Amino acid sequence: MSARREDRGTVSGGFGATLKGLATVFRQVFRADVTEEYPRRIQPPPPRSHIGRHRLNRHEDGLEKCIGCELCAFACPADAIWVVGADNDPEHPVSPGERYAKDYQINYLRCIMCGMCVEACPTRALTLTSAYEMSFLTREDAILTKDQLLEPPAPLGTAPGTEEG
Amino acid sequence: MSVEPEPVTLTIDGKEVTVPTGTLVIRAAEQLGIEIPRFCDHPFLDPVGACRQCYVEIEGQRKLFTACTTEVAAGMVVHTQNTSELAHEGQVANLEFLLINHPLDCPICDRGGECPLQDQTMAFGPGESRYIEPKRVYRKPIPLSPLVLLDRERCVLCARCTRFCDQISGDRFIEMFARGAGQQVAIAAGEDFRSPFSGNTIQICPVGALTASTYRFVARPFDVHVADGICGHCSAGCNVRVDVRRGEVVRVLARDNAEVNDAWICDKGRFAFRAADGPGRVTTPLIRERGLEPASFDEVLGRVAEWSRGARVAFLTGGRLADEDAFALSKLARVAFGTNDLDHRRAFHGGLAEELEAASALRVTYRDVERAGAILVVGLDAEQEVPILHLRIRKAARRGARVFVVHSRETRLSDVAEHLLCRPGQEGAVLERLIEGGAAGSDEERVARALRTAEGAVVLAGSLLAEHPLATDVALRLSRRLGAGFALVPRRAGDRGALRAGVHPALLPGGRRLAVASERAEVEAVWGELRSSEPGRNGREILEACARREIDVLFLVGVDPLRDVPDAALARRALENVPVKVVQSLELGELEPYADAFLPAAALHEREGHLTTWEGRSQRTRPVRAPAGLSRPDWEIFAGLAEAVGAPLGFGSVEELREEMEALLAPREVSERPTAWVGAGVPQWLDEVTLFTYPLLVDEGRLSEGASELKAALEEPAFVEVHPEDAERLHLADGGWARVRTGAGEATLPVRVSSRVAQGSVFVPFNQPGLEANRLLSGRFTAAATLEAVPGGGEGARGGEGIAGPEAKT
C-alpha cells in the first residue's frame, strides 16, 4: 500500500511516466509485424526443423528401414501408433533382416508430437519432418497409413483450410 | 518320501530363514524376497548350474557359488549381489560374458519386452559391453518343427529346453551338441520336434532362442489384453493365460500351478486357439424360414418355446460346457421341460464308479498321482487323452513309482511303465485276475504284488474301460482291495462338470440318484418337485428314439452327433427323423442342413465360468474379451429359454447360479454297494479281430480348427495299426493298404504293423484326416472287424462310407 502511494508521486513525475509509456507505444507502431499471416502467407520453417508429421525412411537400396519392432508404439505416451510385424519373404524382402512392418499407422488425432517414437526407433526409420499442417476433414483422414508415411509429406499450403487445400 | 525333512536355519544378506534340508539357496532367498538373477534355474527342473548367473558369496568359501545348485546348510551365511561386492562383480562379468555372442537383435526378437535376459541385463548387468569383435553367426531361424523355431545365436546354453525334454516329457528330440563357443541346441538330421509338449520349451526359454511360429512377429507384451483362463481342450484343467490383440486370440501360455499343471501345457492347449475366431463361427441367432435366417434371440427362443410346448424334448451335449452351463442345462431339462432325456456322455459307464465321481470331488488329485508308490492306468492313453496327467505319471515314475498300464495299445509311458496288453473289452478280466492275485508266476501276480506292497497306490481308469458295462466297477473294486485311490479319467473338459451337475439320465446334481426318493428329495428341496422320477434315456437311446420319431424336439448343445457319436449312421438317422433340431454352439458345421434354429454360444475365453478337472477340481476361468457378436454364455441362453417357456430357472446372474450350484454340489458320501462282476462276461472272440478306437490328441476336432501349424507338426493321417502276427496271418504289409470292414461300414487305410497293439486287435484313430472312424462303429468304440489286404491300394479302394483311398493320401 505504501509503495503505491509513493508511485503516484508528484504531478510532474506522473506525467513523465505517461510520456515514457507513450514512447513505447509509438516505437512499436512503426515496427514490423511479428504475427504470421498464416494461411494467407505460408512461411517455410527452418530447413532442419523436425516439428511436423512423421516419415518412414528407406535405405539407399530402397528397402524400408522400419523392421516393425513396435518400439515406437511402446514409447508412445498417447497410444497413437499401430504396428503389426510380419516375416520377410527372403526372395522379396521389404526390409533388411527377418522382420518388417506389415501394417503401420499413426493417428494424428492422438499424436502429441512429443517425438518419443523417434527417440525409440532403433533403425532411424521414423523421423519427424517439417510438415506442420495437421488439418483433416474426417477422422479417417487423420490416421496415416504406412504407404502415406513412406511418402514425403504434401507441400505446405495444401492441407484442408489453406488456400490450396 | 513321506518323512518331512529337518528344518535348517541360514542367513542370507543378514536375514535369517528356516527352510527344509535339501532346499537350494536360490529358493531360500526367494522366501526372503531376495531376487538372485538366473537363467538355467527353473523350479520344476533339476538344478544344473549351466548359466553361472546366480553367483553368491558364502562365508568361509574361497570361491563364488551358484545359488541354484547349492543346498542350504545349517549356519550358512550367504551374501548375494546386494551385500557382496564379489558376488555383484561375478554376476556382472557373467552377464557380459553371456552377451558376447548374443546378437542383441531385441527389436526383431519375439521375446523383446518379456525377455529374462533383457530384464536381468537391465537390472543386474554391466550396461555396456567391452566386446567389439565380430559375433558368432548362424543361419536363423531354423525350424525344429512347424511349431518351434530355433535361433542359435540368441541361445545362452541354459539347457532348460533339453532338460525339459529329458526330465519332463521324456521325449529327447533335442540335445546339446558340441562344446565351447560352438555348443548349440540341436536335433537329429531329418528329425522333427514331434513332441506334444514342444511348446513348453518355448515358454521356458529365457531368451528368444526358441520361438513359436504361431506368434512370430505377431504382438508385443504391451499390445495384448490378457486373462487367466482354464484350457478347454481336455479334462486336465491346465491353468493358462490367454493373450488377445485387437479382439483376436494370438497366444496361449501356461500359468504355474503346482496343484494342477505345474508349469506345463500340451501343444494342443497352446497352439489350438483359433477355433472361436474361425470362419465357421456363427454369432447371430438363426431360424429356419426359407433358409436359415438371422433373427433376434427373443424371436428364436419364442419359436423354440412354441415348438417344444407339450412336445417330447431331449437334450444332448458334449464335453464343452462350463460347470455353470451344465448345471443350468440339468435344471432346464428337469424343471422347465420335465424330462430326464439328457446326456453328455458318449461312453456309458453306469455303475457305482460313475456315481462316486458325480458325488464327490478331489478323491484322487494330481498330487496323489505324483506321490503314489504305484500307479495302475487302465483303458487310458494318457499322453493322447489327458496329456498333463501323462506328465504327472512320468513325474511320479521319476520319483520311484512303479507304473503299470492295462490297455490294448502301448502308450508313450512305455519307457517308465510296464504294459499288460489285452484285447479291447478284456480289461475287466485282467483287473479281475489282479484282484484274485493272478496265477502263480504270471505277469498279473507280479503286478498285483507290486501294487499291493506299494505305499500309496492309485488306479486311473479311462473311458475305453466303459466298453464293458462293469469294467469300471471292477477297477473300483480292485482299488478298494489294494487300498488305493481311484479316479475315472474322462477325456473332455466339460465331462466331469456335466456329470457332477447331473447332465445324465439317471443322476441329479451331486450324483443323487433320480430313482431314490430320499436323494431326489434333496434336489427337490431346491428345485421344487420334479415331474418325472423315472430315469430318462441315455445319449444313445435318445438318438434311437429320435430315429423312431419318439422325440419331437432335439437340443444339440455344443455337440455334433455326426462326428462325436460312435455311430455315424444312427446319428444321421436321428437327425433325419426328429422333427425339430435346435443347435446351440459356436458353429453350425455339418449340422447346417438339419438345424431348425441356431443359438450362438460364447466361447470359453469370452465368458465367466468354471471347468472341472478329472480330479473334480472346479477352477475359475475369466473372460479376455466380450462374447463375439450376439453370442451369449450357454447358461444365459438356457435361462432365456426357460423364461420363454414360462418356467424361469431363477437365476439372473452367474453369482446366483453358483450359489445354488454350490448348495447342491457339496461333497456327499456315497454308500458303496458290492458290484456284481459277471465272471463269465469275458467275451468269446469269434470275430477275426477287434477294432478299437479313441481320439488322438491332435485330430480333426472342432476346437482344433485353424491350428494349421499344430496339425502340420503333430497330426497323422488315418491309419490302421495291426500286430505283426495278425499282419502275417492276414497278409498285410507295413506301409501297404488294408480294407477294414465292420458291421457299420468299411474303409481302406494304410497299414502300420506294430507290436505296440495287442494281438487280435487293430487300432484306428477316431478322427484323423481321411477317416471319421465313427462310420465304422455301431454304438461302441470297439467293433468286430475283418481286414483284407488291398494290393497297392488298387481298385475298390473307394466305395462304401468313410473311405480313405490311397489316392487321397498323395
Q: B555-599: per-residue pLDDT in tens?
A: 999 999 999 999 999 999 999 999 999 999 999 999 999 999 999
> Average pLDDT in the B606-622 region?
96
* ipTM field: 0.85
Q: Which set of grid coordinates corresponds to residue B659?
A: 450359489
Q: How confident is the model at residue B681 (pLDDT cuts 50, 70, 90)?
A: very low
Q: How confident is the model at residue B680 (pLDDT cuts 50, 70, 90)?
A: very low
Distance of residue B109 Cα from the nearest chain A Cα, in angstroms: 8
> Average pLDDT in the B160-172 region?
95
| Backbone phi and psi for residue B69, each to the nearest 5 degrees, phi listed first | -120, -5
Judge whether residue B809 has pLDDT over 90.
Answer: no
Judge whether residue B656 has pLDDT over 60.
Answer: yes
Percent of chain B with pLDDT over 90: 84
Rg of chain B, C-alpha, whole Å: 28
**pLDDT value of position A5:** 53
> Average pLDDT in the B491-516 region?
94
> Average pLDDT in the B743-751 region?
94
Judge whether residue B675 has pLDDT over 80.
Answer: no
B28, B36 contact by CB (below 8 A): no
Residues of A with CB under 8 A from a CB of B: 67-71, 73-74, 84-87, 97-99, 122-123
**Strand ranges inside B275-362, DSSP E:** 286-288, 292-294, 313-317, 342-343
Residue B218 near chain A (CB below 8 Å): yes
Q: What SS3 string covers B461-481?
A: ECHHHHHCCCHHHHHHHHHHH
**pLDDT value of position B805:** 40
**pLDDT value of position B801:** 41
> Average pLDDT in the B356-364 region?
88
In this predicted model, what pLDDT tens digit does every residue of B125-153 receive, in sequence order? 887 889 999 999 999 899 999 999 999 99
**pLDDT value of position B676:** 55
Percent of chain B with pLDDT over 70: 95
d(CA A116, CA A76): 6
In this predicted model, what pLDDT tens digit does every residue of B770-782 receive, in sequence order? 999 999 999 889 9
- Chains A, B: CB pairs < 8 Å: 33
DSSP structure class, residue B181: G
Structural domain boundaries of chain A?
54-150
On chain A, the residues whose CB falls within 8 A of the CB of B218 are 84-85
Q: Which set of grid coordinates corresponds to residue A42?
A: 505460408
**pLDDT value of position B686:** 54
Assess if CATH 3.30.70.3270 describes domain A54-150. yes
B777, B802 contact by CB (below 8 A): no
Residues in Cβ contact with B738 at an 8 Å cutoff, skipping those fewer than 6 apart: B720, B722, B730, B732, B748, B749, B750, B751, B787, B788, B789, B790
Interchain CB distance below 8 Å, B222 and A85: no
Distance of residue B624 Cα from the nearest chain A Cα, in angstroms: 20
Interchain CB distance below 8 Å, B220 and A67: no
> Which residues in chain A come in under a pLDDT of 70?
1-13, 163-165
**pLDDT value of position B795:** 40
Interchain CB distance below 8 Å, A85 and B113: no
d(CA A144, CA A128): 14
B462, B378 contact by CB (below 8 A): yes
In this predicted model, what pLDDT tens digit does every residue of B183-206 receive, in sequence order? 999 999 889 999 999 999 999 999
Amino acid at residue number B633:
P
Judge whether residue B685 has pLDDT over 90.
Answer: no
Q: How confident is the model at residue B800 (pLDDT cuts 50, 70, 90)?
A: very low
DSSP B766-793: SEETTEEGGGG-SSSSEEEEEEEEEGGG
> Average pLDDT in the B214-236 region?
96
Q: How confident is the model at residue B165 (pLDDT cuts 50, 70, 90)?
A: very high
Answer with the residue of higher pLDDT: A33 or B164: B164
